[in-house]
A and B are shown apart, each in its own frame.
Chain A
Amino acid sequence: MRDAYLVGAGQSAFGAFPEKSYRSLFRTAFEAAVESVPDGLEPGDVDEAFVGTLGVGGRQLGLSGPAVTEHVGLGGVPCTRVENACAASGFAVRQAVQAVKSGMADVVLAGGFEVMSDLSSDAAKYWLGVSGETEWERLSGTTFAGVYAQMASVHMEQYGTTGEQLSRVAVKNHANGAKNPHAQLGFECSLEDAQSAPVVADPLNLYHCCPTSDGAACALIVSEDVVGEYTDEPIRVAGVGAGSDSVGLFQRDSYTGVPASERAAESAYEMAEIEPEDLDFAEVHDCFAIAELLAYEDLGFCERGEAGQLIESGATEPTGKLPVNTSGGLKSKGHPIGATGAGQVVEAFKQLSGTAGPRQLENPTRGLTHNVGGSGGAAVVHVFEREGAEVDA
């Protein structure tokens, strides 16, 4: 199979933009992605598009993919909407990689968008909640925060994970997000703030939960046959992995891990022929603080049960052994559901192309993105690698 390469990626700011439409947000992201391609790319080069979105607040339930690609001048290009809740655009990127690797397309746009902030809070809760298992889990009164809180309750009971360790996730990600001009909550927070916030779903407080956001993000994936036309410093999609599981937590084998993430990571590492130790950074799905800690374990950054110690050790700070969520993560950067997965790829592109500005890591060569749908019904992992990484490393 042919190799696939990431030649550009860009995003709109994430935040609350009641004055912007989902199409205009997508246009901002598309233009930023096209502009980021080192040697330039014409919209006419795009052969195919995959677009992730949950439902734009219920307004555009059908054909919301072509609705945005047509808006940015890609009318006529085959476009498929991908829906896997919060992992929608992570899976859109995976579809793009498959299209390129299969030989069916040379230049593929993978993006995502969501508008969530112009709804009443009740309507927003409705939209968020229906990505869980509706008939049983939701109707036991849980919310997404509730389901992750249930996982946290067991992780704390089983491994002694503490509320302070959860709060450290918020402190780290806010410190990172403060350096990201696209972040929705781009301010620093103290450990005290992050421990004393109002409880949302015990043991999770407000600082353990990501915001609801508007935004869009796009990535451009091309084949090895054409990559030379777009860049001299290619970033290879070294590994792709995905998994799924019971949508309801109660039907899963584990409450203290996300099996779909484990499966996705295992496949991605195998394809990339690497171990977790070989990563220079990772963007993980921290919709809730416990989700980042679970990701450490599911992705093999530490042993099962040791994520609390890992965050405490500082290993996942920008200065640590494996910086996690340099973008600010979902917590600080924001979580416009359908745009989140592609947004993670934007950060990977920026770090690997040396364009991450004040949060630039020192010469990273390999990074991972990890995008989860719902509480773990679907997960997708990508490994991106600067070409010649082995030489550089």
Chain B
Amino acid sequence: MSPTAITGVGAYAPRFRITAEAFEEAWGQFQASGVNEKAVPAADEDSLTMAYEAAAKALETADLAPGSVDWLAFASSRPPLEEEELTARLGAMVGLPETTTGYSFTGSTRAGTRALWAGMDALESDAETALVVAADAPRGAPDEDVDHAAGAGAAAFVLESDGPAAIVDRGTYAAPYPGSRFRETGSDETQGLDVTGYDRQAFTETIRGAVDELEVDAEPDAAAIQAPDGKLPYRAASAAGVGTDAIQACATVHDLGDLGAASVPVSLATALADGHDSILAVSHGSGAGADAIVLESAGEVSVESALEGGDSLSYAEYLRQRGVVTSGPPSGGGAYVSVPSWRRSLPQRYRLEAGRCVECDALSFPPSGACDDCGALAEYEPVPLTGEGTVEAVTTISQGGAPPEFADQQARSGDYAAAIVALESPDGETVSAPAMGTDAEPAAFAVGDRVETTIRRIYTQEGVTRYGFKVRQQTD
């Protein structure tokens, strides 16, 4: 096998956290052993927006021009749509060329390593630079183990043929074990039959099988093992041929919960961020199967992580954020922007493409119609803004006051800030754009504050979710 190297890594988890105690208070017990607290996606997040967060970080830290990526994979057991090739949207969000080969991997918590596997195959074939992104937020019935453990997170890897962290070996194994973890077609809730011994056997047999396939004799400092809860990976230690210390070294399940298809990828990102030289990564997915990957690192890999927690949720707030106890969008309709109109604005919604008036050199946003400055009906030269800016005007839209198309989001996440922001060009010029605040209480946004853009769910109409930029407090 010709080596594949990881040359840049991004990792992301939502800011919301809920503790095991909050679950115990609500249920009298917490069914996810070994999980102390877990990450919860905000109402405007899903696996695609988390994938964007991680992918943007990976590209930035690898110092890679998006134009050079020729292969893209998106892996999630919970893509926001069951049918649609989402790599087209993800690619556009991070600015990849339309000619990038895109693959989606889903249907299992093993999807993340399947994507890495396919990325290695692609590099062995004719791809030069692959971007592999795994993002997930499992979900089950509120009284099921799956939902108690369910966390949220994403990791993205830039793969090239040469670099400090080489993937030196890989193995895979599958055997039929139906019923351990599955989601019926059309259902929103993952379930399991909860046959303890059977599930455990499926887990250890496949992991052992994949590791046995390895040719190198791995003695890893860190082992990123699939973590449906905080105990199971340790039970598979001997099957994987590693000590529990190695698993502990890069475990994320205790603080972030079950990350589904992103479980092994986020742990792998953590191991690389912590500078471990020898890493074993073993996924498991129901069905059942496992992939084992061995990494040997000869130097530091550039990793940009945003896994730290922010606001703590009560169990009631958790149910609200996840839309479990809200009734969905109201009838009566909202502002209607047709999907074709929305699509025309994607360069602005995703990549902040302003326009420079060829007559007077001033910037306009969005770049259409007469120039905001000189009024000329001239052409615009595209100028992508930096994503940084300053709040010029802001209000808080109080509960019940949101336009109907935002009523569901407001019911879930409460008051929000609506601002006008002076966004900056690479040359330091500014142009104003309206933007919703995210990732902080609305009171955190004041006139004069520094903000940065990210991409989130704006709203859903006719079944089509519109994604676009919002602003949050600058993290630097």
Contact = CB atoms under 8 A, between A and B. Distances in A.
Q: Indicate the size class of the contact surface on chain B.
A: 35 or more
Contacts of A248: 434
A129 interface: yes
A249 interface: yes
B406 A141 contact: yes
A198 interface: yes
Nearest to B393: A150
Given A140-B435, A157-B447, A146 B337 contact: no
Given A123-B333, A250-B420, A139 B393 contact: no
Contacts of A130: 335-336
Interface in B391-409: 392-398, 401-407
A44 to B, nearest CB: 42
B395 A125 contact: no
A154 B418 CA distance: 13
Interface stretch (A68-76, A199-207, A339-347, A355-363): A199-207
A170 B418 CA distance: 24
B323 interface: no
Contacts of B403: 125-126, 129, 138, 141-143
Contact of A136 (B330, B406, B434): B434
Given A122-B407, A126-B403, A153-B447, A141 B337 contact: no
B332 A120 contact: yes
Contacts of B336: 130, 134
Given A141-B403, A200-B401, A149 B335 contact: no
A198 B393 CA distance: 21
A65 B398 CA distance: 36
A142 B337 CA distance: 15
Contacts of A203: 395
Given A141-B416, A150-B418, A122 B393 contact: no
B196 interface: no
Contacts of A246: 372
Given A122-B407, A126-B333, A142 B433 contact: no
A377 B24 CA distance: 54
A151 B393 contact: yes
A93 interface: no
B202 interface: no
Contacts of B178: none
Contacts of B404: 122-123, 125-126
Contacts of B335: 126, 129-130, 134, 138-139
Nearest to B466: A139
Interface in B352-402: 366, 372, 392-398, 401-402
B291 to A, nearest CB: 41
Contacts of B406: 141
A136 B433 CA distance: 8
A155 to B, nearest CB: 9
Interface string B441-476: 010000110000000001100000010100000000
B419 interface: yes
A203 B404 CA distance: 21
B99 interface: no
A126 B336 CA distance: 9
User: Chain B: interface secondary structure?
Assistant: mixed
B341 interface: yes
B444 to A, nearest CB: 12
Most chain B CB neighbours (cut-off 10 Å) among A119, A126, A140: A140
Q: Indicate the size class of the contact surface on chain A.
A: 35 or more
Given A145-B401, A146-B418, A126 B332 contact: yes
Given A150-B418, A249-B420, A251-B432, A143 B393 contact: no
Given A135-B345, A251-B432, A149 B395 contact: yes
B207 interface: no
Nearest to A203: B395
Most chain B CB neighbours (cut-off 10 Å) among A151, A202, A204, A249: A202
A138 B436 CA distance: 10
A346 to B, nearest CB: 31
B299 interface: no
Interface string A146-177: 10011111100100000000000000000000
A254 to B, nearest CB: 11
B419 A139 contact: no
B125 interface: no
A255 B394 CA distance: 11
Nearest to A249: B420
A3 interface: no
A306 interface: no
B426 interface: no
B331 A143 contact: no
A141 B432 contact: no
A317 to B, nearest CB: 29
A179 B381 CA distance: 58
B334 interface: yes
Nearest to B458: A139
A324 B378 CA distance: 43
A154 B392 contact: yes
Given A153-B447, A200-B401, A201-B401, A141 B392 contact: no
A153 B398 CA distance: 15
Contact of A142 (B407, B418, B458): B418
Most chain A CB neighbours (cut-off 10 Å) among B407, B419, B442, B459: B419
Contacts of A151: 393
Given A153-B394, A202-B395, A202-B396, A141 B418 contact: yes
Nearest to B443: A202
A31 interface: no
A146 B332 contact: no
A152 B418 CA distance: 13
A130 B434 CA distance: 16
Contacts of B448: 157
A137 interface: yes
A352 B273 CA distance: 78
A143 B401 contact: yes
A137 B330 CA distance: 21
Given A141-B416, A201-B398, 12 more contacts: A122-B404, A134-B337, A139-B458, A139-B459, A140-B436, A141-B436, A143-B403, A153-B394, A154-B393, A246-B372, A255-B393, A255-B420
Interface of B: 330-337, 341-342, 345, 366, 372, 392-398, 401-407, 416, 418-420, 432-436, 442, 447-448, 458-459, 466, 468
15 contacts: A123-B404, A130-B336, A135-B341, A138-B403, A139-B458, A141-B403, A143-B401, A145-B401, A150-B395, A153-B395, A153-B447, A199-B398, A204-B395, A249-B393, A250-B420
